[in-house]
Amino acid sequence: MGSINLVTIRLKRARQALAVAKRLFEEKFFNDSLSKSYYAIFYAAGAALESIGIQTKRHATTIQKFNEHFVKNGTVDKEYYLTLSNAFRT
């Protein structure tokens, strides 16, 4: 199992990024809001991976490992992986 401390830190970063994304959206800074939204998803995926002892350094690796360990086995709906993957490419 992964470090509870790192999982907590990554989830906190995800929540903060999402809060900032919401504020940016409300102020009509749509491109910046989109970027922060992606990071919220990315940090959450990193937390999920950390919870099973997997650490990644690159965004593409995080996305691939998230798919491999959570989507392919049915733990997480494929829709969430596609959202993360598409946000990374945008």
pLDDT digits (tens, 9 = 90+) for 60-87: 999 999 999 999 999 999 999 999 999 9
Query: Is residue 42 scored above 90 in pLDDT?
Result: yes
Residue 1's pLDDT is what?
56
Q: Residue 3 — φ and ψ, nearest 5°?
A: -75, 120
- For the whole model, what pTM was predicted? 0.89
CA distances from residue 86 to 3, 17, 51, 53, 81 in whole angstroms, order as listed: 28, 18, 23, 25, 8
Domains of the chain, residue spans? 4-89
Most confident of 3-12, 17-26, 53-62: 17-26
CA atoms of 28 and 86, how far apart (whole Å): 22
Alpha helices by DSSP H, the chain: 4-26, 30-51, 59-66, 78-89
